[in-house]
């Protein structure tokens, strides 16, 4: 019974990955930026898009590809036996 309950809970689990937040974090890690406290990912990416549009677009693309990959991993995942 507990196994069935755990399985149902796992099937209902949803985790959203914010593309803008992921893009900002990857960009920060890759090029060493430090987002000032209180600056949202949206503001950081908007600022990056103004100053370095190609770079910002590349990190957004990286985020989209990563999110798609994470989705594939979840879809193909299985419970350990």
Domain segments of the chain: what residues?
18-76
Closest CA to 79 of 16, 12, 11, 14: 11
Give the C-alpha separation, 14 to 28, whole Å.
Answer: 26
Evaluate if pTM is beyond 0.75: yes
- pLDDT tens-place string over residues 16-61: 899 999 999 999 999 998 899 999 999 999 999 999 999 999 999 9
């Amino acid at each position: 019974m507990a196994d069935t309950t755990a399985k149902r809970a796992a099937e209902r689990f949803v985790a959203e990955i914010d593309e803008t937040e992921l893009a900002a974090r990857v960009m920060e890690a890759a090029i060493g930026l430090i987002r000032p406290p209180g600056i949202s990912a949206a503001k950081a990416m908007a600022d990056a898009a103004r100053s370095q549009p190609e770079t910002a677009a590349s990190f957004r693309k990286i985020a989209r590809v990563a999110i798609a990959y994470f989705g594939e991993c979840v879809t193909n995942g299985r419970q350990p036996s």
